[in-house]
Structure 1
Amino acid sequence: MLQRIGHFASKTFLIWVLLVSVIAFTVPGLFSGVGNWIPYLLGIVMLGMGLTIKVSDFKLVFKYPKPVIAGVVLQYTIMPLLAYCIVKAFHLPPDIAIGVLLVGCCPGGTTSNVMSYIAKANVALSVTITSISTILAPVLTPSFMYLFAREWMDVSFLSMFASVTKVVLIPILLGLLIQRFFKSFSEKSEDILPLVSVIAIAIILGAVVAGSRELIIETGLLIFTVVIAHNVLGYALGYFLANVLKLNYPDKKAVSIEVGMQNSALATSLATVHFNPLAAVPGAVFSFVHCVTGPILARYWAKRAERFDKAKRSLA
């Protein structure tokens, strides 16, 4: 039963995100005070990631290093550089600029693994890239923010490093330890983890939307335009450069999805802790946008794969 509920929660993730966003926007009072819990909710999501990461996920680095290294490098080059170029091109105000840069400097999100599965991409590669980019986040996210964002605001590398370590690295390591020393509990928890993650991410998004309602109304069109451009160009450049590197088709799809889909919940959490409410809005909008564009892209690729399989069977 728990397994079925978990699968249902994963498959209907987009519906819950949209529903919670609408509720938070129309009845913001329901989420009053929830914003203070965002780092803890993100920690729960990361704990779940730690409970599901397998040693075999990292073996792929040694078996097929090229697509893994390519995916991680493209993740941490395309999205930060793209964010910086978009911020400059649109002449964004400092608070919004910081929020967009935060999204670009974060690792890939776990939702990308589900999208890779739907798209019939290389799911093992997707999981490996997500895991490695997330583990590298405590160093790389503050480093890129320090490099790109100083033009708009003072960024403390050490302060941000401590935040990312607390909400990302420590929960993941705790999850790995539980998996190592409490194996039966870890195995049983896998059935309910998708549901817990969906609830936590939906509440994070709801809290930010509710807390930033007036700011979203005021700057909504600009932020949506910027975020959609960032997200869609991330997919396109990820696929194009994976193609230049001559990766195979399932790997190209996985890399494209990994690059385009960011851990926007982390960006939202960091903006809430280190900057101000307006800086959290791009992360909230990105969460919404990539939960729409991701399934559209994944289903397009899935249909292409189905047509190719049918053509192959008919020729046989």
Structure 2
Amino acid sequence: MHSLCHTSTVRHGDVKTFDVPRFCGDSMQLVVCLFVVLSCLHHVSRASHPTLRVRVSPPFQPLEFKEGIKQDLTVRVELQNSTLNATHVLQDDFTLYLFVKPEVEWRLKVISQNPLYFNKTDIVKRTNKTFTIIGEVLGYSNLTFYSVDSLAGLQGNNGSVIRDGFRIVVLRYLVLMDKVFLGIIIGLVSINHVNMGCTLDLRVILAVLRKPIGPVVGFLCQFLIMPLLSFGTSLLLIEEPLYRLGLFALGCSPGGTSSNFWTLLLDGDVNLSVVMTMLSTIAALGMLPLWMYSLGPHLYNTQGITIPYDKMILSLIALSLPLGIGILIKAKKPSWASVIVKMIKPITLLIILVIMTVGIYNSLYVFYLLSWGIVGAGLITAWGGFFFGAFFAWLFKLERKQIIAVSIETAFQNAGVAFLMLRLSLTEPDGDLASVSCIAQLSVVGPPLWVALLLLHTRKRISRLCYPDDPLPVTPVPLGTVNLAADVLENDLVKGRVDVDNNLDKVTHLENRGDGGSDVPMNKDGEMGPEEATRGDVSIAGSEVTSGDNKPALV
């Protein structure tokens, strides 16, 4: 058997047949020649039909712009796919208008001449020309370059696309005024915490810690209800993973100091509010990473998440230190504390207004990034916090003031912890973008409280008009909640009236002593008998605390 490569000659009579392998070789040569010819034709075609391209400087992507800062973008137009010089390819009257269009026009703005004019000389000499662009709102955007033969061709962007997909990223730019505002807010909040310390009562705080029903309810609402609520609403209503992560991070954060201010303004239990804020900050050292590493990966890649433990510890110190100063002032200088307590509500209201104004000013960019889904998710999470906090506090039979404190504490998170965690864990501008949903929730948590504050003051105003002879609200204390401790009666009751400004909390959480040491005569069932027990100018009759002139004692 012969190989196909073996050359052989076959004779049939006097006729010589052709050589098969030689025929194959000739065919291959023909194919190669044809390929060379087609390649030459292709190059000739490309040389005779050159295309234009745009070179951009700086060339690296994404190109970073600072928010509100002008930046130049240098461009030049060159021939592409041409082995000939532009002098021989382009006609003498060649003109081209280069037009640049941002993908998101409200994020980037071209403030220089647009389009730029190029003629044959500009292209031959590779002349550089400049677009001046300013970043308006943080985020990402692409630039697209169009070429047209005349200005009329720019109408409707009918030009030919020379280059698209040039990536631009706009970053936040913090000016000096932002840092000044931040310092002012920190100073005002610290001063107001000193003021709040003058209203606290260590005995009441210790009583809350000994019987921590309120703090336990607040803990369950803060670290069980809020994380699950923010997780569910973000999945249902928000499409962007970064925004989902931001809302969830805020939902997992501890209680914020604003809850203490609002609890004070709405006549809630300030002692309980402060205790819950401090305990939730301590608990967040473990609960925040637990939620972020368990449910966080379902929203975004949280492997690189950095938990700001130092920020939470600093928040705890920043809260406890001014409060301690206020408590010390109350103990050493009660006259000073009395003056501070009378001024604390107007000061607190002013501080909240300043924080709102500065916050809106620094977060104007957020309004460009909001969507109905983000606003809806923030609203459901915030108002759900009010509802579930009040519901569970009522379910555990807490008092009205405690219900107010738990409800407000549940809805308010420490936004500073969430912001810092996002910015430490994500690159720019992703950290700022993730904070958008946090700001959205913070912007909708306040309106219900303003309405409640307006209704409360309206009610007090009407009460003063209807009862002009009794300017202070009179509340009879049920028999079962009174503990006639001798020190409280001697210090707090003067001629049958209670010093509301200084010592209100000392008699609001008192209980009956059913033991033999009670100052109130008790029957065998531990209830007050029909006899009246008197001490000084105060007597207890029936089911109310009354003064010697048979008027209810103020509590």
Structure 1 residue 87, shift from structure 2 partner = 1.5
2:131: which partner in 1? none
1:279 aligns with 2:279: no
1:222 aligns with 2:376: no
1:235 partner amino acid:
F
1:161: which partner in 2? 309
Cα distance in 1 for partners of 2:316, 2:207 equals 21
How has the CA–CA distance of structure 1 residues 181 and 294 changed in structure 2, closer, same or farther, with 3 Å as cutoff?
A: closer
1:283 partner amino acid:
C
In the TM superposition, 1:203-282 aligns within 5 A as 205-206=359-360, 208-210=362-364, 213=365, 216-275=367-426, 276-282=431-437
Cα distance in 1 for partners of 2:321, 2:264 equals 27
Cα distance in 2 for partners of 1:58, 1:107 equals 19
> Gaps spanning 5+ residues in structure 2: where?
1-135, 139-171, 468-473, 476-551
Q: Which structure has the highest strand share of the two?
A: 2
TM-score calculated relative to the size of structure 1: 0.69
Structure 1 residue 231, shift from structure 2 partner = 0.7
Cα distance in 1 for partners of 2:418, 2:193 equals 19
1:291: which partner in 2? 446
Mean alpha-carbon deviation: is it higher for 42-51 or for 119-128?
Answer: 42-51
Structure 1 residue 89, shift from structure 2 partner = 1.9
Structure 1 residue 174, shift from structure 2 partner = 5.5
1:21: which partner in 2? none
CA contact (8 A) 1:58 1:128 kept: yes
What is the number of equivalent residue pairs in this alignment? Answer: 284
CA contact (8 A) 2:243 2:437 kept: yes
1:122 aligns with 2:269: yes
Q: Who wins on radius of gyration, i.e. which is larger?
A: 2
1:226 partner amino acid:
A
1:10: which partner in 2? none
CA contact (8 A) 1:44 1:200 kept: no
CA contact (8 A) 2:305 2:425 kept: no
Q: Which has the higher contact order (CA 8 A, sep 6+)?
A: 1
2:175: which partner in 1? 32
1:23: which partner in 2? none
How has the CA–CA distance of structure 1 residues 244 and 296 changed in structure 2, closer, same or farther, with 3 Å as cutoff?
A: same
Structure 1 residue 47, shift from structure 2 partner = 5.4
1:227 is paired with a residue whose SS is: helix
2:215: which partner in 1? 68
CA contact (8 A) 2:237 2:376 kept: no
Structure 1 residue 96, shift from structure 2 partner = 0.4
- Superposed CA deviations along residues 30-80 of structure 1, whole A, max 9, x for unmatched, are 963666789978876775687555682741433431122212222221111
2:295 is paired with a residue whose SS is: helix
Cα distance in 2 for partners of 1:250, 1:66 equals 14
- Identical pairs, percent: 21
- Superposed CA deviations along residues 188-230 of structure 1, whole A, max 9, x for unmatched, are 99989959965884587247514xx1x5323333221111111
1:81 aligns with 2:228: yes
Cα distance in 2 for partners of 1:39, 1:219 equals 24
1:92 is paired with a residue whose SS is: coil
2:112: which partner in 1? none
How has the CA–CA distance of structure 1 residues 291 and 31 changed in structure 2, closer, same or farther, with 3 Å as cutoff?
A: farther
How has the CA–CA distance of structure 1 residues 253 and 194 changed in structure 2, closer, same or farther, with 3 Å as cutoff?
A: closer
Cα distance in 1 for partners of 2:460, 2:212 equals 25
2:103: which partner in 1? none
1:150 is paired with a residue whose SS is: helix
Structure 1 residue 163, shift from structure 2 partner = 3.9
1:113 partner amino acid:
N
RMSD of aligned alpha carbons: 4.5
